[in-house]
Chains A and B, each alone.
Chain A
Amino acid sequence: MSKVKTLILRTPGTNCDVETSYAFELAGSETELVHINKLLAKPSLLSEFQIMAFPGGFGYGDDLGAGRVLANEVRLKLGEKISRFHESGGLIIGICNGFQALVKTGILPGPMKDGQKITLTDNNSGRFECRWTYLSVNPFSTCVFTQGLDRLYLPVAHGEGKLLGSPEVINKLNSAVYYTDKDGKRNAPYPANPAGTLMDIAGIADESGRIFALMPHPERFVRGSQHPRWTGEGLKKEGDGLKIFTNAVKWAREV
């Protein structure tokens, strides 16, 4: 059987592409870093891949709001291709800036034709924050990436991570991961939910469960010594984030 292939999308300002690629490789996928201009020139490239990743960073500097310029470019120039990729069974993951872009294209929560329904905006603190967060996985979510997972510990690093939208939309989201306190309880005060996001939502999936995006960075915790307290709590064999990638690769392989 041929190997699963993951396309890691690069744009001006993407900066987590290398470690995201490394995480997918650890999970057993082949990866290719593809610049958006290359994909725009040849959108059919996408059909060679089973997984597409929108990594973290500051696409186009986040000059007009996080992910906005990239989102417009993707929506207007690649929207149809991406819809087809998804409909034919492809998996899509967005991390941090990738989440912001997916939300602003309308790909999440989807469908894209309905346009943008929610947003990710300035943290309550008004500043960029890099810190580790406790997460719990929603066991009822159909999200392919989080199947079988329960609790996670992952870092965030963002200035615009507060998820907002109308209550009707928020209540219907296919939420996949929530910010919690150390003991896994939701509704924990700052900084457990670092941006002050509605309903503690850290990541969501589309209806199919095959498009998933989150603010925390699973690719930054794939080996034990990335944990902030490994020197005190012991070196784990692998990081919590790796399972998200192995889930995706496994799913893509089995389909």
Chain B
Amino acid sequence: MHRIEVSLKPEWPDPKGNGVCHDIQDLGITSVSEVRVIDVYWLEGNLSDSEVLTISGELLSDQIIQTFKYDANCPLAEADGFSAIEVTYNAGVTDPVQETILKAISDLGIKGITAARTAKRYLLKGEISADELKTIGNKLLINPIVQHVVTSSSNPFPPNPEYTFKLKKIDLLAEKLKDNMASLGKEYSLSHQELSVIYEHYLKLGRAPTDAELETLAQTWSEHCCHKTFKAMLDYDGQIINNLLKQTIAKATAELNKPWCLSVFVDNSGVIEFNDEWGVCFKAETHNHPSAVEPYGGAATGIGGVIRDILGTGLAAKPIANTDVFCFGPPDLAEDKLPPGVLHPRRVFKGVRSGVADYGNRMGIPTVNGAVLFDERYTANPLVYCGTIGLIPKKYALPGKQSAGDLVVLIGGRTGRDGIHGVTFASGELNDRSTELSFTAVQIGNAIVEKRMLDTLLQARDRELFVRITDCGGGGLSSAVGEMAESTGVKIYLDKVPLKYSGLTYSEIWISESQERMLLAVNKEKLGEILALFESEGVEASVIGEFTSDRHLKLFYQDHQVADLQMNFLHNGRPQLELRATHHKTRHPEADFDCPKDFETELKNILSHWNVCSREWIIRQYDHEVQGGSVLKAMVGAENDGPGDAAVIRPVLGSKKAVVISNGINPSYADVDAYNMAASAIDEALRQIIAVGGNLERVALLDNFSWGNASRPESLGDLVHACQACHDLSLVFGTPFISGKDSLNNEFRYEDKLITIPHTLLISAIGVMEDGDKAISMDFKKSGNLIYIVGKTAEELGGSHYFKNHSFIGNRAPAVNAKRAKENMQALSCATAGGLVAACHDLSEGGLGVTAAEMAFSGKLGAHIRLADVPLAEKIEREDYILFSESNSRFLVEVAPKHQAEFEKLMSGCDFGLVGEVMSEPSLEITGRDGKEILLNTPVSELKEAWQRPMRW
């Protein structure tokens, strides 16, 4: 074994080390004055000293700025004046760099290398106590789920255990006699009812199931894979709802029956028509639990997974944009408020952000927009939603079909022990031991493996070399094969699956969730051509089985049959859940504080709220322009730093036609009313599309539910309400749902406490815009222009940020009058399409006050706003309520005086008011109801500072 250390020459500053040093200071540790990061490589194999020197000098180090140290004796002694912590991946965790090192060494013409591992060695300067060193290690540098500290006795290349085949059967009869069914259920994450059905099934067959069979059933029947709560038989206060999804969300889509919906609810993502030639597809997923225990890896594999959903749509789509929405605990959460075994929100946030960015950037997919929300209840259960949009030729939009005799081809990454039991982990609740118990449930991604797969798959699609595709996601092969072969049957030879290392049992191979794998059905005649294509770009592809016609799932390992499941039982045998739901209403104390005198401070406090402040720190670290389609970016305005609404991109480079992408999410309102929370999320997503110049003509929605616990009747009642809102609004707006996802177990239990996340529904919207050149941005453009508000304001501050800042929740969340909203939106769309609108921004968190401030400072212009001219839905006594109400369906619109008459004519019959003017003097002035009193007159630079300061990290 050879060990090489690569470090920067001392004369060069170390930006990575500086970053770590900064993070250490964030922990409150001030004794560290400098950090240097050293890259450590271990090489295993028969290498001569001169070969190791060549590798070190020409490959592992950059001679201009780095030096290397090569010492066969593996020195771990601490460097002078520095304390050292060296961190490497645990055995069994994929080192994502190994493959590249082996390839690059072979490029150098060096043959003897067999394995490579990497580590990071952190040198910390200063008088650091042992306790501080431990804290730095535990809170910052090491995640025990995937990493450990290297000591002199560490062996980077531990031998992998060999595996000798032994068929494992589970004698259900004996287990039942032993009264052991409960613990068996726990082991396989099967409910009592499910296990009983399985017991009866095998009793009829007259044999015991194998472990692989039980695992297959457990994976396929998991909440993650089959959404059993949504498909349950609900007793909702006496009303029977058979399959909530079908009775609400999918029902609206069916009723709307839009001809431009090409594929809904049947595939890995939903597809709508873009133009005569192309369709666009969209899917958003959650990767919550893995991100809670290993933020970087969890989030990276979350984005990797949703990208594969797009690749696995129809006969493969090209991913063209990502959109990410995160919910975390507050970044400034006091350490003593952190539940045991939980990572600090700041660490989760930073890890998730870099996981998503590293993967998305490497894949060459622009991250075009997103959202981040903070609430203490997300501390132990962060939510990580990753969405991807794809472009697909219309003729390939529908899922393919295989025939008996077609081959099962597995492509992409190799299979390891990573991610085993991921879906059953994701379907259960987290607790303070989750980080210890779940190490195999976390995967490490490798974006380049997926990128290679993407490049070759699109070529294979265009040459029609496969007849069907799906991704290996949750449940691994067991889910992918089981789903794909449902209509035919299949034989799989598990020993043909390429492995990362030896020692995996046949069951582990079957359920592993190793990343970057896709499954294809290939006609025998095309096999040679497709294998050659994959080989030409270095993508591993293996035939692992064959489709049959007997509707059985048969698994083999080295000529032994290890499973034989009837497809009918696997897919239709699951007993339907029966659940009780009830309606309830939580009453909160009514807001009780006087109308403040100092509006300026109130406005600044909302602008500085974690949920409102600038996200530039995150956005700049995503590549949001790759692929060249950008039309409206996430940051807009005079200094490229204002908060844009929806993103607009042109997916086909030669065409002006564009897609518009937005998100709506409002968990705060759920504390008041789940129906209005869901309605508000839909309204917000649509508002953003309208705000950038889009229209409602061709807009499709995704639903993504994250609930604390859907098995409690009250909580399930709220879910019913939210689904009803989705149904109702979808119908009125004429915007069908095309795909969705849910994660219904986001509770954290410790000691005698239970933390439940707020009900969170992410609505993602995608629309088509005829001409991207007609898009508008939210920054004010010219002094002297008129400012209109569209939509009426009501005293709806329940769950608002204004109330939050005064420690109230309230009891009236913003509602949506969808019919009226639609009329207003359609008229506004006509105005923007006609070129009458210079800027438009929707009103959301912080209401009129925040929107006016954002438009002004983004445009580096001032504005005068008159509350007296704001159209109200009802009498509102308090001016602070008018300014900060979060009523839905409202916009602030900038119109040049020359377009005044035409704009007002187009909007006649709608709710709107001329509330102000854009000013060259760069301050925001707001006058009160009497038309005279100046409530606020503040330089926009101060407002901008309040908005930018919190996350200027």
Verify A231–B775 contact, CB threshold 8 A: yes
| Complex partner residue of B773 from A73, A123, A225, CB under 8 angstroms | A225
Chain B residues with Cβ below 8 Å from A116 are 62-64
B777 and A232 contact, CB distance less than 8 A:
yes
Q: How far is the CB of B42 from chain A (nearest CB, A)?
A: 14
In the bound complex, residues from chain A placing their C-beta under 8 Å from that of B638 are 229, 232
Is B859 touching A220 in the complex (CB atoms < 8 A)? no
B63 nearest in chain A by CB position? A116
Q: A128–B538 contact, CB under 8 A?
A: no
A35 touches B537 (CB 8 A): yes
Instruction: Kindly state whether residue B653 has any CB partner on chain A within 8 Å.
Output: yes
Beyond A37-B536, A58-B362, whether A12 also contacts B452 by CB under 8 A is yes
Chain A residues positioned under 8 Å from B859 (CB to CB):
232
Whether A217 touches B107, Cβ cut-off 8 Å, given contacts A22-B653, A60-B100, A68-B59, is: no
User: What's the Cα separation between A118 and B108 when bound, in Å?
Assistant: 21
Contact present for A38 and B536 (CB under 8 Å): yes
- Confirm or deny: B486 has a beta carbon within 8 angstroms of a beta carbon on chain A: no
Interface 9-mer from A13-21, A46-54, A85-93, A136-144? A13-21
Chain A contact surface mostly = mixed
Which residues of A have CB within 8 Å of B59?
64, 68-69, 72
Asked if B101 contacts A63 (CB within 8 A), the reply is: yes
Given contacts A12-B538, A18-B627, A35-B536, contact A131 B640 (CB under 8 A): yes
- Of the listed residues A10, A69, A122, A232, the one surrounded by the most CB atoms of chain B closer than 10 A to its CB is A232
Decide: A16 and B364 in contact? CB cutoff 8 A.
Answer: yes
How far does the Cβ of B7 sit from chain A's closest Cβ, in whole Å?
13
List B904-920 residues whose CB lies under 8 Å from chain A.
none
A130:B18 contact, CB within 8 angstroms: no
Instruction: Report Cα–Cα, A68/B105, bound state, in Å.
Output: 12
Query: Mask for A225-250, Cβ within 8 A of B = 1, else 0?
Result: 11011011001000000000000000
Please, what's the 1-or-0 string for B88-118, where 1 marks a CB less than 8 Å from any CB in chain A?
A: 0000000011001101100111000000000
B897 at the binding interface (Cβ < 8 Å): no
Q: How far is the CA of A58 from the CA of B104 in the complex (A)?
A: 15
Whether B635 sits at the interface, judged by CB under 8 Å, is yes
* Smallest Cβ-Cβ distance to A235: which chain B residue: B773
Given known A-B contacts A15-B626, A68-B62, A60 and B448 have beta carbons under 8 A apart? yes
CA gap between A155 and B452 in the complex, in Å: 26
Contact across chains for B626 and A222 when beta carbons are under 8 A apart: no
Q: Are A65 and B628 in contact (CB under 8 A)?
A: no
What mask results when residues 1 to 24 of chain B are scored 1 for a CB within 8 Å of chain A, else 0? Answer: 000000000001101101100000
Residues in chain B near residue A147, CB distance under 8 A: none
- List B contacts of A220 (CB < 8 A): 625-626, 628, 630
Query: Is B772's beta carbon under 8 Å from chain A?
Result: yes
B12 in contact with A228 (CB, 8 Å): no
B residues near A129, Cβ cutoff 8 Å: 620-621
- Among residues of B, the one whose C-beta sits closest to the C-beta of A74 is B107
Is A199 an interface residue, CB under 8 A from the partner? no
Number of residues from A at the complex interface, CB < 8 A: 60
Whether B420 sits at the interface, judged by CB under 8 Å, is: no
How distant is the Cα of A37 from the Cα of B107 in the complex, in angstroms? 12
Q: Which of B448, B625, B635 has the most CB of A within 10 A?
A: B625
Q: Which residues of A contact B446 (CB under 8 A)?
A: 61
Measured CB to CB, the closest approach of chain A to B364, in angstroms, equals 2
The smallest C-beta distance from B156 to any residue of chain A, in angstroms, reads: 17
**A interface footprint on B661-684 (CB within 8 Å = 1, 0 otherwise):** 000000000000000000000000
Chain A residues, Cβ within 8 Å of B624: 130
Write the chain A residue with the least CB distance to B17. A126
Q: Which residues of A contact B776 (CB under 8 A)?
A: 231
* Residue A165, interface by CB 8 Å: yes
Closest to A73 in B: B107
Closest chain B residue, CB of each to CB of A225: B631
Q: Does B127 contact A (CB under 8 A)?
A: no
Q: Mark A16-40, 1 if CB is under 8 A from B, else 0.
A: 1011001100000000000101100
* Chain A window 89-107, contacts with chain B (Cβ cutoff 8 Å), 1 for yes, 0 for no: 0000000000000001000
Contact status B65-A121, CB under 8 Å: yes
Bound Cα distance from A165 to B62, whole angstroms: 11
Q: Which residues of A contact B100 (CB under 8 A)?
A: 60-61, 63-64, 69
- Interface membership of A187, Cβ < 8 A: no
A117 at the interface (CB under 8 A from B): yes
Chain B 559-585, CB-CB to A under 8 Å as 1, else 0, gives 000000000000000000000000000
Whether, in the assembled complex, A1 has its beta carbon less than 8 Å from a beta carbon of chain B, the answer is: no
Question: Is A157 at the interface (CB under 8 A from chain B)?
Answer: yes
In the complex, what residues of A have CB within 8 A of residue B650's CB? 225
User: Which residues of chain A are near B451, meaning CB under 8 Å?
Assistant: 12-13, 15
B residues less than 8 Å from A83 (CB atoms):
none
Decide yes or no whether A110 CB sits under 8 A from chain B. no
Whether, in the assembled complex, A127 has its beta carbon less than 8 Å from a beta carbon of chain B, the answer is yes
Check if A122 sits within 8 Å of B16, measured CB to CB: yes
A232: B residues at CB distance < 8 A = 637-638, 777, 779, 781, 859
* Contact pick for B623, options A10, A124, A128, CB 8 Å: A128
Q: Would you call A57 an interface residue if the criterion is a C-beta within 8 Å of the partner chain's C-beta atoms?
A: yes
- B628: A residues at CB distance < 8 A: 16, 18-19, 22-23, 219-220, 222, 226
Query: Interface code B762-778, partner A: CB below 8 Å = 1, 0 otherwise?
Result: 00000000001101110
CB nearest neighbor in B for A12: B452
Question: Cβ of B364 and Cβ of A77 under 8 Å apart?
Answer: no
Contacts of B108 in A (CB 8 A): 72, 76
CB < 8 Å: which of B13, B107, B362 contacts A76? B107
Residues of chain A with a CB closer than 8 A to B623's CB = 128, 130, 157
Bitwise, A176-189 to B at CB < 8 A (1) or not (0) is 00000000000000
Whether B363 sits at the interface, judged by CB under 8 Å, is yes
CB distance from B99 to the nearest CB of A (A): 8
What B residues does A164 contact at CB under 8 A? Answer: 12, 64-65
Taking a contact as CB atoms under 8 Å apart, the answer to whether B448 and A12 are in contact is yes
In angstroms, how far is the closest chain B Cβ from the Cβ of A159?
A: 8
Which chain B residues lie closer than 8 Å to A175 at the CB level?
none
Contact B640 A121 (CB under 8 A): no
List which B763-809 residues lie within 8 A (CB) of chain A.
772-773, 775-777, 779, 781
Q: Tell me the chain B residues, 328-383 only, with Cβ under 8 Å from chain A.
A: 357, 361-364
A231 to B635, CA, bound (A): 12
State the Cβ distance, A107 to closest chain B Cβ, in Å. 15
- B942 interface residue per 8 A CB criterion: no
Contacts of B630 in A (CB 8 A): 220, 226
A250 to chain B, nearest CB (A): 22
Is the Cβ of B104 less than 8 Å from the Cβ of A117?
no
Would you call B107 and A72 a contact (CB within 8 A)?
yes
State A37–B16 Cα separation when bound (angstroms): 33
Minimum distance in angstroms from B532 CB to a CB of chain A = 12
Asked if B447 is at the interface (CB within 8 A of a chain A CB), the reply is yes
- Check B625–A60 contact: CB distance below 8 A: no
**Chain B: minimal CB distance from A96 (Å):** 10
- Please name all residues of chain B whose beta carbon is closer than 8 Å to the beta carbon of A165 when the two chains form the complex: 64
B633 within 8 A of A: yes
Q: Is B455 an interface residue (CB 8 A)?
A: yes
Instruction: Name A's B-contacting residues (CB within 8 A).
Output: 10, 12-16, 18-19, 22-23, 35, 37-38, 56-58, 60-61, 63-65, 68-69, 72-73, 76-77, 104, 116-119, 121-132, 155, 157, 164-165, 217, 219-220, 222, 224-226, 228-229, 231-232, 235
Which 5 A-B pairs give the minimum distances between C-beta atoms? A15-B364, A19-B628, A126-B15, A126-B19, A63-B100
Other A-B pairs, 17, CB within 8 Å; known A119-B64, A228-B635: A58-B448, A63-B97, A64-B97, A68-B62, A69-B107, A76-B107, A104-B62, A124-B15, A125-B15, A126-B15, A127-B621, A130-B621, A131-B620, A131-B640, A157-B623, A226-B625, A231-B636
30 sample A-B contacts, Cβ–Cβ < 8 Å, listed by A number:
A12-B448, A12-B451, A12-B538, A16-B364, A16-B628, A18-B627, A19-B626, A19-B628, A22-B653, A35-B537, A56-B626, A61-B362, A63-B448, A64-B101, A69-B107, A73-B104, A119-B62, A121-B65, A124-B13, A128-B361, A129-B620, A130-B619, A220-B628, A222-B628, A225-B631, A225-B775, A228-B640, A231-B781, A232-B637, A232-B779
